[in-house]
Amino acid sequence: MTIVKHRLFWPSVILVALLVVNIFTANQFITVRDGHLFGVLPDILRGSAPLLLVALGMTLVIATGGIDLSVGAVMAISGAVACLLIKDLSNQNSVGSVLLIMAIAIGASLVLGLWNGTLVAVVGIQPIIATLILMVAGRGVAQLVTDGQIINVQSSPYATIATGHFLAVPVAFLIAIAAVVLTVLLTRRTALGLLLESVGGSPTASRLAGIRSRRITIMVYVVSGGLAGLAGLIYSANIKSADSISAGNLIELDAILAVVIGGTALIGGRFSIAGTVIGAILIQALQVTVVAVGVPSKATLLFKAVIVVALCLSQSATFRQKVFGRFRPSRPAVPAEVPA
């Protein structure tokens, strides 16, 4: 009874259902080839890394009651900066230089996050508008960096972060999971998570209680910018080029969707990182499944919409009560089985 009522129950059910569909439709769900994991499941995990990173940052921003629309633009800028610098290297395969360049790109993303945070916390602009500015201008900056071209790079260390394997597991997924674990430790093993939630609950009340709410607000946007930058690196490493138009296009909506599927309320004040992880993987699994089950390309979005509508409704306690409540008028011990 209680497990059905858990807010992550229905998203998990849908995720498992999607994976089960893939077991039957894909010719290889998960196998070991050349010492690496291959198949649909590792593909889903690898592909979900950028969305997972972006959604992780978004979770923290939303926990403080804000929203970050600029993540897609930040992804484009970070990828553009990295590819531009790597292209000019004399030896594109030098691990040290590539790491340094990645650090520069993430540094740039942190600065962009700082800009967002300053607009929201210091100037006092509403988050959706403050980050909209960078969303519009940022893609222009990325186009300026790449000079409107698509920059191709041939760097094997750079490609590793997207397509490589470490201990048979995709590196991209490991990076994302490392970021998740670090965030969980920082927010749930220290007081930081509590402070975030209190700022989301009421910035004024938390300031009066002695919390530096302004500093915390700036910090979440900086973190969100940095994580979006990392996601941009993985995205551009995956296609071995910087595409300032399509990198991270509309990812902000998917990220917000992932966060909300995971049970974080948009009004702020509470957040669930585990929920965001499930949400992000679910969205990626959905995208893979749509192709795998042979839905024609013109219907993919419609299919996605139907699943999203089902998810939204399944998450609404009122909906479950109104629809499924009728099937069990006298509270039976075993909950009625409901097709997912």
Partner 1 sequence: MTTIDATPATNKSPSPTNPRRRVYLPHTKYIPILATLTLLLIMYFTGVANYENFGQPSVVVNLFRDNAVLIVVAVGMTFVIITGGIDLSVGAVISMTTTLTATLLQAGWPPLVVLPTVLLLGSLLGMGMGAVIHYFKVEPFIATLAGLFLARGIALFINQSSIPIRDKLWKALSEYRIVLADGVVTKITSVTAVVVVLIAAAVLAWTRFGRNVYAIGGNADSALLMGLPVGRTKIAVYTLSGFCAALGGVLFSINSTSGWALQGQGLELDAIAACVIGGVLLTGGSGYVFGSLLGVMVYGLIQTIITFQGDLNAAWTRIIVGLLLFGFIVLQRVVTRRAR
Residue 240 binds partner 1, judged by CB under 8 A: no
Distance CA 146, CA 144 (A): 5
User: Contact, 73 vs 139, CB < 8 A?
Assistant: yes
CB 198 within 8 A of CB 211: yes
Residue selected from 144, 191, 205, 291 as contacting partner 1 according to rule CB under 8 A: 144
Residue 299 sits in the site that holds partner 1 (CB under 8 A): yes
Strand partners, 241: 152
Give the range of 101-109, 234-242, 271-279, 293-301 binding partner 1 by CB under 8 A: 293-301
Using rule CB under 8 A, residue 174 touches partner 1: no
- Scanning 21-29, 38-46, 100-108, 254-262 for contacts with partner 1 by CB under 8 A, the matching segment is 254-262
Please report, as residue ranges, which positions from 2 to 31 form the binding site for partner 1 (by CB under 8 A).
none
Q: Where are the alpha helices (DSSP H) in the chain?
A: 2-5, 9-25, 40-47, 49-63, 71-87, 95-118, 127-146, 156-163, 171-188, 192-201, 203-208, 213-239, 251-261, 273-292, 300-315, 317-324
Q: Which residue among 150, 303, 324, 335 contacts partner 1 (CB under 8 A)?
A: 303
Residue 1 or 123 having the CB closest to partner 1: 123
Closer residue to partner 1 in complex, CB, 322/328: 322
* CA distance to 34, 161, 243, per residue, from 165 (Å): 11, 8, 24
The reply to whether 122 sits near partner 1 by the rule CB under 8 A is no
**List 46, 74, 139, 288, residue binding partner 1 (CB under 8 A):** 139
Could you tell me which of 64, 50, 309, 272 has the C-alpha nearest to residue 176? 50
CB neighbour class for 297 (10 Å; exposed up to 12, middle 13-18, buried from 19)? exposed
Residues in the interface with partner 1 (CB under 8 A) total 47
Q: Residue 272 in contact with residue 285, Cβ under 8 Å?
A: no
**Within 10 Å of residue 16's Cβ, how many Cβ atoms?**
13
Q: Binders of partner 1 among 52-91, rule CB under 8 A?
A: 69
Structure tokens at 260: 């909300």
The answer to whether 309 contacts partner 1 (rule: CB under 8 A) is: yes
Q: Considering only residues 175, 257, 280, 292, which one is a binding residue for partner 1 as defined by CB under 8 A?
A: 257
Residue 98 C-alpha from the chain's centroid: 24
Residue 133 within binding range of partner 1, rule CB under 8 A: yes
For position 132 contacting partner 1 by CB under 8 A, the verdict is yes
CB 255 within 8 A of CB 55: yes
* Residue 319 touches partner 1, criterion: CB under 8 A: yes
User: What sign does the dihedral 251-120-279-5 (CA atoms) show?
Assistant: negative
Any contact of residue 338 with partner 1 (CB under 8 A)? no
Q: For residues 274 and 310, which CB has a smaller minimum distance to partner 1 in the complex?
A: 310
Least spacing, CB of residue 208 vs partner 1, in Å: 20
Rule CB under 8 A: which residues touch partner 1? 69, 123-126, 128-130, 132-141, 143-144, 148, 253, 256-257, 260, 265-266, 297-306, 308-309, 312-313, 315-319, 322
